Amino acid sequence: MSPRIITGTAQPVRGITVGTAGLHTGTDNLTLLAMAPGATVSAVFTRNSCCAAPIHVARQHLHGPTATRYCLINAGNANAGTGAAGIQDCLQICAWLAQECNCAPQSILPFSTGIIGERLPMEQFRAALPELCKTLQAEAWQAAAQAILTTDTVPKLGSAAWRVADSPACMTGMVKGAGMIRPDMATLLAFIATDVAVESGYLQDCLRHAVDRSFNRITIDGDCSTNDAVVLIATGQGPRIDADHGEGFRQTLEKLCEELALMLMQDGEGVTRVMEVCVTEGLDEDECTRVAYRIAESPLVKAALHSADPNWGRVLAAVGAAGITTLDPQRLCITIGDTAVFKDGAACVADAAALSAQLSGARCSIRIQLGRGTAHATILGCDLSCEYVRINAHYRS
């Protein structure tokens, strides 16, 4: 049975408290996530060669000998492109927070999202941290999911409950992401917590696997922004996951990540519809992924999708441009919704109005059969709208 994810609300997780406060602005844009001692933490970080200061610091703290106790997230300023000074700022903030919380600075993982290239407002951090620590409570996920946002329009969170043998277990996650039409340029931050007890190496394997099938399926070439991170915390206050119960845990994690990734797409800048691009019958997963990205990234396909125009010729051109030199167009099949539009090397007779109707909902599907093998891959894409251009042309003004 597939795990059921409840989205929009969040169940508290035993061993986790969260709190929010405001830097300079009237709204809360500073979030603290605290975990009780004994938690196991895994994370996946951006592979961007110019990654932000907090990524350097969080990676170092996570992989050092000190157990992680806090995640600190600020929205509005990415602390990226800030060089050695940015790293110093980040370490200073960890030191201040450590003093407030009476813990080691190395037990704090810092995360930032927002404008690149500006220094953090240090005095405002110093002023806000004491208040932030006082707001920690188990029930504040909703406020936290709001406080981590930048140009997102809605908080994005979800929870799942399942049973490990006879014991109840739960998992809750929140995510933010702005320019989700090209997530490699935006910052994707996700924080997921579960009350089960999981061995550290296994936790990392599960997270990597789930991210590859969710957040990395909406990301171009597996690239990330300067600040991307996905964090998974297992507090160990619920049942223990061993070999017998691993499957339920993995499935729940993967499903929750998929749902959070879908929410990201739906709240993408200027997005009016999400397209699932499913490529099958490839020689290997790599070529399927390349074809799917080529389609999902094509501005022409995306613009046509925006007006529900079934201009499948652009899909064909994208398939042909994916670099599979031995592709045989005679064996290729393109399906929009449930209607084949290209088969046996030529257009199928199809009713344009009916095709357009298949594209005009909030979700639609484009399926490509390559006729070469048995591999497959699915990517989520979205339409390209004037609203996207407007948001990104004037993000700073």
Note whether 384 binds its own copies by CB under 8 A.
yes
Note whether 189 binds its own copies by CB under 8 A.
no
Q: Name which of 285, 291, 338, 339 is nearest 315 in CA terms.
A: 291
Q: Could you tell me the smallest distance in angstroms from the CB atom of residue 165 to its own copies?
A: 44
Q: Could you tell me the smallest distance in angstroms from the CB atom of residue 223 to its own copies?
A: 4
Segment interacting with its own copies (CB under 8 A) among 14-22, 98-106, 115-123, 274-282: 115-123
Note whether 388 binds its own copies by CB under 8 A.
yes
Candidates 144, 180, 296, 318: give the one binding its own copies (CB under 8 A): 318
Quick check: is 153 catalytic? no
# chain residues binding its own copies, by CB under 8 A: 74
The catalytically annotated residue of 31, 46, 68, 187 is 187
Give the integer Cα–Cα distance in Å for 386 and 177: 19
Candidates 8, 201, 329, 373: give the one binding its own copies (CB under 8 A): 329
Q: Could you tell me the smallest distance in angstroms from the CB atom of residue 63 to its own copies?
A: 18
Note whether 283 binds its own copies by CB under 8 A.
no
Inter-residue long-range contacts of 98-101, CB under 8 Å, 24+ positions, other chains counted: 100/129, 100/130, 100/133, 101/34, 101/69, 101/70, 101/133
Candidates 2, 102, 374, 397: give the one binding its own copies (CB under 8 A): 397
Note whether 182 binds its own copies by CB under 8 A.
yes
Are 274 and 253 in contact by the 8 Å Cβ rule? The answer is no
Please, where are the H alpha helices in the chain? 53-63, 83-101, 122-134, 141-147, 200-212, 246-266, 285-297, 299-306, 312-320, 352-359, 386-393
Note whether 347 binds its own copies by CB under 8 A.
yes
Note whether 395 binds its own copies by CB under 8 A.
yes
Contacts of 231 (CB under 8 A, 6+ apart): 41, 42, 43, 71, 109, 111, 190, 191, 192
DSSP string, 1-31: -PPP-EESS----TTEEEEEE-SSSSS--EE
Q: Which residues ranging from 67 to 86 are in contact with its own copies (CB under 8 A)?
A: 78, 80-86
Segment interacting with its own copies (CB under 8 A) among 8-16, 154-162, 303-311, 360-368: 303-311
Q: Could you tell me the smallest distance in angstroms from the CB atom of residue 391 to its own copies?
A: 8
In the complex with its own copies, the residue whose CB is nearer, 2 or 325, is 325
Give the integer Cα–Cα distance in Å for 270 and 277: 19
Note whether 324 binds its own copies by CB under 8 A.
yes
Q: Sign of the C-alpha dihedral, residues 363, 179, 261, 221?
A: positive
Write out the catalytic residue numbers: 187
